[in-house]
Structure 1
Amino acid sequence: MGIIKVNNIKLYAYHGCLDEEAKIGSAYRVDVIVEADLKKSAKTDELADTVDYVHLNHVVKEEMAIRSKLLEEVAQRILDRFFRELKMIEKATVSVSKINPPIGGNVEEVVVILTKER
C-alpha cells in the first residue's frame, strides 16, 4: 500500500449558510490523502498504473465550484467522486478548510475532515 498526497489546493468558492457567503465568497484550502497499491506503478513507471494526482486536483476544483451550505457536503462529494472515478483508491481523506470564516472572532480557519474506505 502507498500514499499519495495533494496538499494545499488553494481555491475561492461560495460555500456557507449565510447569504453574504454566497455573494462574496471566501478562500479555501483542500488537502487530499489517498491510499492505493502503488507497487505496480513503482515498477512500470506508467501513469496508467497509479492514481493520477492531476485527476484528484481536477475533481477537487470541480466539486468546490458547486455551492454548498456545509463543508461536510463538499468533502463527501469529493470523496464520492474519487471512489467512483479512480478504482485503485482503497482509502481517502479530504480536508476542506475555510480561511478566515465569518464567525465573529479572530479565527484563522475552520476545517472539516472526512475519510472513506472502499
Structure 2
Amino acid sequence: MKTSITLEDIRVYAYHGCLQEEARIGSWYRVDLTVWADLSTSIQSDRLSDTIDYVRLNQIVKEQMAIRSQLLEHVAGRILQVIKADFQEVTSVEVEVAKINPPIGGDVGQVSVKIIE
C-alpha cells in the first residue's frame, strides 16, 4: 500500500541566490513536500515509530534552507537527499522550493523549482 505525507506552505526566511544582495538581505521562501512510502504498518499500529515523522520532515526542510545555495535546484536536491537518507522506507519524494517576490525586474509572485524522484 502506497501512502503519501504532504507538508504544504512551509515558510522560511533564507539567503539563497546568485546576487550578493540576496546573500545579505535574504527573502521569503515557500517549500512544499510530499513523500510516498508503504505505511501499512502504521495504519494498523497507530505508532509514530512505524511512520514517517512529519515533524522531522519539517526540521529537514528548515535545516537545509538555512544552508546558503546559489540555486533553488541545489537546495531542493539537498532536501530530497537528506529525506531519502533519513527514511529508507520512502519510495518517492516531491520537493518544490519557491522564492517569493524574486528580484528579477518584474511583477512576479514567485519562481519555483520542483524535483520529483
State TM-score, norm by structure 2: 0.98
What pairs up with 1:53-68 in 2 under 5 angstroms? 53-68=54-69
Which residue does 1:51 correspond to in 2? 52
- Structure 1 residue 87 displacement after superposition: 1.2
Q: Using the alignment, how far apart are the partners of 1:90 and 1:82 within structure 2?
A: 11
Q: Percent identity?
A: 53
Q: Secondary structure at the match of 2:99?
A: strand
Given that 1:50 and 1:88 are in contact with CA atoms closer than 8 Å, whether structure 2 keeps it comes out as no
- Structure 1 residue 41 displacement after superposition: 0.4
What pairs up with 1:6-85 in 2 under 5 angstroms? 6-85=7-86
Q: What amino acid does structure 2 have at the position aligned with 1:96?
A: V
Q: Using the alignment, how far apart are the partners of 1:113 and 1:74 within structure 2?
A: 11
State TM-score, norm by structure 1: 0.97
Q: What amino acid does structure 1 have at the position aligned with 2:11?
A: K
Q: Using the alignment, how far apart are the partners of 1:37 and 1:49 within structure 2?
A: 10
Q: Secondary structure at the match of 2:107?
A: coil
Q: What amino acid does structure 1 have at the position aligned with 2:16?
A: H
Where does structure 1 differ by over 6 angstroms across 4 or more consecutive aligned residues? none
5+ long unaligned stretches in structure 1: none
C-alpha root-mean-square deviation of aligned residues, in Å?
Answer: 0.5
- Structure 1 residue 38 displacement after superposition: 1.3
Q: Using the alignment, how far apart are the partners of 1:76 and 1:102 within structure 2?
A: 22
5+ long unaligned stretches in structure 2: none
Deviation per CA, 1:28-79, whole angstroms, max 9, x where unpaired?
0000000000111010000111111011000000000000000000000000
Q: Using the alignment, how far apart are the partners of 1:54 and 1:101 within structure 2?
A: 28
